[in-house]
């Protein structure tokens, strides 16, 4: 009887040893998987850190690109409200004759343009107002004079037609200016100078 009990206990001990070995194997497997997951998590965190750095660098580069684009447009002036086909076949000559008359400015050097054209495709007569004209002045100072006069005087008149003049900026800068323009009345009410 004692022998049977000992045999039964030996059998149970053997079963427990096998189960214990199986559990140890499972624990080792889970430990390896946990180590792998920890390594992957560390790798992902490193990548996120690098992406954050790249994102900051990209944001900085976008700002620089916008600045460069705005600088490349600094001689450009946009004219709004000039009737279609009023310029004839030579838009540069048209602007050379029109601007002194329109602005009342006298220029020390002849007005010259690198290029000038209407913006966008030709429109049908029923589609609204005339397309803007964009002109790239050869001399930056002349572009500034025209813009300064437009700022101080307001819209010009050409045959009872209101002509507005504006600097040419990148889309990013234009969007920022529009957002700021919407805030200006609130800033005035609060007495904040800008």
Q: What is the pLDDT of residue 126?
A: 61
- Is the pLDDT at 143 greater than 90? The verdict is yes
Alpha helix ranges (H) inside the chain: 2-72, 91-103, 140-153, 171-189
Confidence of residue 93 (pLDDT cuts 50, 70, 90): very high
- Is the pLDDT at 194 greater than 90? The verdict is no
The mean per-residue pLDDT over the stretch 91-98 comes to 96
Residue 115: helix, strand or coil by DSSP?
Answer: strand
The distance in angstroms from the start CA to the end CA of the chain is 102
Is pLDDT larger for residue 2 or for residue 180? Answer: 180
Place of tokens 């008359």: 101
The tokens describing 154, both together, are 């307001």
The tokens describing 117, both together, are 């054209």
The mean per-residue pLDDT over the stretch 159-186 comes to 92
How confident is the model over 27-83, as pLDDT tens digits?
A: 988 899 999 999 999 999 999 999 999 999 999 999 999 999 999 999 999 999 999
Which of 131-140, 170-179, 184-193 is least confident?
184-193
- Is the pLDDT at 180 greater than 70? The verdict is yes
The tokens describing 48, both together, are 């996120």
Confidence of residue 16 (pLDDT cuts 50, 70, 90): confident
Q: Percent of the chain at pLDDT above 70?
A: 98
Q: What is the mean pLDDT of the chain?
A: 91
């Amino acid at each position: 009887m004692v022998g049977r009990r000992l045999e039964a206990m030996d059998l149970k001990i053997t079963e427990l040893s096998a189960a214990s070995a199986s559990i140890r194997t499972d624990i080792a497997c889970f430990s390896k998987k946990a180590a792998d997951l920890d390594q992957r998590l560390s790798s992902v965190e490193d990548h996120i850190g690098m992406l954050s750095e790249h994102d900051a660098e990209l944001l900085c580069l976008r700002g620089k690109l916008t600045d460069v684009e705005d600088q490349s447009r600094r001689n450009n002036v946009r004219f709004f409200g000039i009737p279609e086909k009023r310029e004839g076949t030579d838009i540069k000559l048209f602007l050379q004759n029109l601007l002194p008359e329109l602005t009342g400015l006298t220029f020390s050097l002849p007005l010259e343009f690198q290029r000038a054209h209407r913006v966008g495709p030709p429109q049908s007569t029923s589609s609204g107002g005339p397309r803007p004209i964009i002109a790239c002045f050869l001399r930056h100072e002349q572009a500034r004079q025209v813009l300064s006069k437009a700022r101080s005087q307001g819209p010009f008149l050409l045959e009872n037609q209101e002509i507005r003049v504006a600097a040419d900026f990148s889309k990013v800068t234009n969007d920022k200016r529009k957002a700021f323009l919407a805030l200006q009345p609130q800033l005035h009410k609060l007495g904040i100078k800008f």
